[in-house]
Amino acid sequence: MATAIGVRVRASHIRAFGEPFRERALSTVRGVPVFRRVFLGGETEVRGYDVNSIAPLARVERFVISEGNAPVFLSNEVRPIGGDTQIVFNAEYRVPIVWRLSSAA
């Protein structure tokens, strides 16, 4: 069994068509739902990071607003909102050890 070099490149970009829906929640960002946006991390993309742990962050401030009263602050959190563009390049060098067992670096 010979040594081998493996290479993978993946690129993507996502955007909404038309005028984005204007809402004040983080369920969409610039018209694209958060579940469709780009999150990186994990053994098949960026090793050493948890799955979907690499993404832009947004500060979320929560308030309670009741008529006739001043807004009451509840919490201040930072949440991942995902990106709209990704470029991932992976390369590995595989070396045979014994029979079908090999090592990759």
Write down the pLDDT at residue 5. Answer: 93
Q: How far apart are CA 26 and CA 67, in angstroms?
A: 24
pLDDT reading at 91 higher than 80: yes
DSSP for 44-96, written as a single string: TTBTTS-TT-B--EEEEEEEE--TTS--EEEEEEEEE--BSEEEEEEEEEEEE
Q: Is the pTM of this model over 0.75?
A: no
pLDDT reading at 80 higher than 90: no
pLDDT digits (tens, 9 = 90+) for 13-63: 998 887 666 666 667 777 788 888 899 998 888 888 999 889 988 888 888
Strand 101-104 with 85-98, pairing: antiparallel
Domain boundaries, the chain: 4-104
Question: If you average pLDDT over each of 10-19, 60-69, 88-97, which comes out highest?
Answer: 88-97
